[in-house]
């Protein structure tokens, strides 16, 4: 059995040092920046979904048109 197994110092990552303003509940610029970044991400995801839906619809229309005009072979 390895020595020092009971010593869990440093496990779990590091904690961010809080400034006095953050400790007192004042909103920092970091929080606002995260909100802006999240909003940009949501907008990008929305645009990507719209493009994917449009591409899927276009592909479905093309495959539907090519199948209707072809004569049936026996």
**Is residue 9 pLDDT above 70, yes or no?**
no
Query: Token pair of 59, please?
Result: 């592909």
What is the value of pTM for the model shown? 0.47
In the chain, where the domains are located: 26-61
Cα 23 to chain centroid, rounded: 29
Identify the residue with better confidence: 11 or 48: 48
Q: Whole-angstrom Cα distance, residue 27 to residue 33?
A: 11
pLDDT in tens, 14-59: 677 777 777 777 666 777 888 999 999 999 999 999 999 999 988 8
Residue 29's pLDDT is what?
Answer: 72
């Amino acid at each position: 059995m390895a020595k020092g197994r009971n010593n869990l110092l440093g496990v779990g990552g590091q904690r961010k040092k809080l400034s006095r303003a953050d400790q007192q509940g004042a909103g920092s610029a970091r929080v606002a920046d995260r909100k802006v970044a999240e909003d940009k991400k949501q907008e990008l995801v929305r645009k990507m979904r719209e493009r994917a839906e449009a591409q899927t619809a276009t592909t479905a229309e093309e495959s539907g048109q090519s199948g209707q005009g072809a004569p049936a072979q026996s």
